[in-house]
């Protein structure tokens, strides 16, 4: 009896499934009669494609929103409302943090025209006039000697902005005389509110200097036997960096509103190589030399510590006068082919500069003077070689 009941239930369930299948088949046939299969497939494909395209376009719009923001509305690296890709966002955040740490000023004392007025570029006309000077004593400090070069006058232009700069200058005297330039000079600097770094390379060969003194002899003799090569790097920290700006006086990228000064301290590296070949002197002058030595070479390298002070006096609106003096002391290594041979000596040097700056709106004008001196001393000789530069600048911010 139970078996019969089970069989009847299974048969009835099977009939129900068959009837559902027939209904589904009839519905399908009806749909196919109304709408062809190709049309249904195309409609489904279009719908899926349209949905995918809208998702992709929305994703692309989100990813490219920062580009549209920059090109349509302008761009500032300090704008924190722009959503960048992850890698760019990390880089911009790191830059903003470093920039704030190294370039923060109290705006009642120092103003950055690039931030307050949007003036991020500068173009300048420059006239630079430099002079090399040499003085000392030869032969156990018995024979004084003094020489100096002619003034080398350069004229050119300088343009800078967004951390990049380009300078081109030519030698006015050599250009007029139709000669080649024998004095070479390369220089770079990096300035923030806290740190000032300056490097240089200078070399003069096949050039003449004026001999003014040798022993008891005094006069003005053209001397072709001097050659000089020097390079170095100075880096120092500005302690009162929120109120005092070195860049306002010498780079013109900041504007000093109120008088302020600061202690400075740092390190330096320099290499000096000065050769005086006295054998080319006339017999009349060679007799003033101490002994029979005619080749004097002062070749040495310095490492040391520098400390000094800089002060900017704002004596009238738009006028700035700066004085900076940074003497240094350290270790000096004399090379084997130097006049005293390989020796360890005391290093003493001096860096000093002055600036008079006038700012009138976006225009600025400056007269700057810098002096860099290296004093060599030993039991037999003393020799001071220096580089001085007087520079006139006229510039415009835009």
Q: Which two tokens stand for residue 223?
A: 């001397």
Predicted confidence (pLDDT) at residue 138 exceeds the cutoff of 80: yes
In this model, does residue 242 exceed pLDDT 60?
yes
pLDDT of residue 93: 78
Question: Which H or E run contains 313?
Answer: strand 295-316
Contact 152, 185 (CB under 8 A): no
The number of residues in the chain equals 398
**Mean pLDDT score, 74-79:** 65
pLDDT tens-place string over residues 83-117: 778 777 778 777 777 766 777 899 999 998 866 66
Phi, psi at 237, each rounded to 5°: -100, 135
DSSP string, 57-71: HHHHHHHHHHHHHHH
pLDDT at 347 over 80: yes
How distant is the alpha carbon of residue 34 from its chain centre?
Answer: 77
* Lowest mean pLDDT, pick from 1-10, 198-207, 213-222, 302-311: 1-10
Cβ distance 308 to 323 under 8 Å? no
- pTM metric for this prediction: 0.75
> Is a pLDDT exceeding 80 seen at residue 315?
yes
What DSSP assignment string belongs to 167-216?
Answer: EEEEEHHHHHHT----EEEEEEEEE-SSEEEEEEEEEE-S--EEEEEETT
Ramachandran area for residue 298 (φ above 0: left; ψ -120 to 50: alpha; else beta) = beta
- Which pLDDT value is given to residue 20? 41
Q: Residue 123: what pLDDT?
A: 93
Flag whether pLDDT at 274 surpasses 90: yes
The CATH code that applies to domain 110-397 is 2.40.128
Give the whole-angstrom CA distance, residue 280 versus residue 271.
26
Q: Is the pLDDT of residue 205 over 80?
A: no
Map out the domains of the chain as residue ranges: 2-68, 72-102, 110-397
The single residue listed with the structure tokens 């009238």 is 316
Of 350, 228, 232, give the one whose Cα is nearest residue 298: 228
DSSP 17-40: HHHHHHHHHHHHHHHHHHS-HHHH
pLDDT tens digit string along 59-72?
555 567 777 766 66
Q: pLDDT (tens digit, 9 = 90+) per residue, 365-380?
A: 999 999 999 999 999 9
Over pLDDT 70: what percentage of the chain? 75
Given a cut of 90, whether residue 299 has pLDDT beyond it is yes
């Amino acid at each position: 009896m139970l078996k019969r009941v089970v069989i009847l239930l299974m048969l009835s369930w099977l009939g129900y499934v068959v009837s559902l299948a027939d209904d589904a088949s009839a519905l399908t046939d009806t749909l196919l009669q109304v709408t062809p299969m190709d049309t249904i497939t195309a409609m489904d494909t279009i719908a899926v494609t349209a949905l995918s395209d809208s998702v992709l376009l929305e994703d692309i719009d989100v990813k490219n929103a920062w580009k549209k923001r920059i090109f349509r509305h302008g761009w500032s690296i300090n704008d924190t409302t722009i959503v960048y890709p992850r890698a760019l966002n990390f880089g911009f955040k790191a830059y903003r943090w470093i920039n704030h740490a190294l370039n923060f000023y109290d705006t009642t004392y120092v103003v950055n025209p690039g931030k307050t007025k949007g003036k991020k570029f500068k173009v300048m006309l420059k006239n630079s006039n430099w002079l090399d000077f040499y003085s000392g004593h030869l032969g156990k400090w018995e024979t004084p000697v003094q020489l100096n070069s002619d003034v080398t006058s350069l004229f050119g232009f300088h343009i800078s902005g967004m951390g990049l700069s380009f300078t081109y200058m030519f030698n006015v005297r050599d250009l007029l005389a139709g000669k080649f330039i024998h004095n070479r000079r390369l220089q770079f600097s990096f300035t923030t509110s806290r740190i000032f770094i300056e490097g240089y390379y200078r070399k003069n060969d096949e050039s003449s200097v004026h001999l003014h003194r040798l022993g008891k002899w005094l006069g003005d003799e053209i001397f072709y036997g001097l050659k000089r090569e020097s390079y170095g790097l100075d880096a120092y920290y500005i302690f009162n960096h929120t109120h005092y700006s070195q860049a306002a006086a010498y780079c013109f990228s900041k504007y000093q509103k109120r008088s302020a000064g600061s202690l400075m301290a740092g390190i330096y590296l320099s290499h000096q190589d000065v050769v005086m070949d006295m054998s080319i002197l006339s017999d009349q002058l060679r007799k003033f030399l101490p002994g029979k030595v005619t080749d004097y070479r002062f070749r040495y390298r310095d490492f040391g510590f520098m400390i000094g002070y800089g002060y900017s006096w704002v004596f009238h609106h738009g006028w700035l006068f700066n004085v900076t003096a940074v003497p240094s002391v350290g270790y000096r290594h004399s090379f084997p082919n130097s006049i005293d041979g390989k020796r360890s000596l005391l290093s003493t040097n001096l860096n000093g500069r002055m600036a008079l700056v006038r700012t009138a709106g976006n225009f600025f004008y400056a007269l700057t003077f810098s002096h860099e001196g290296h004093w060599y001393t030993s039991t037999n000789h003393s020799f001071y070689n220096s580089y001085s530069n007087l520079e006139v600048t006229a510039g415009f911010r835009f």
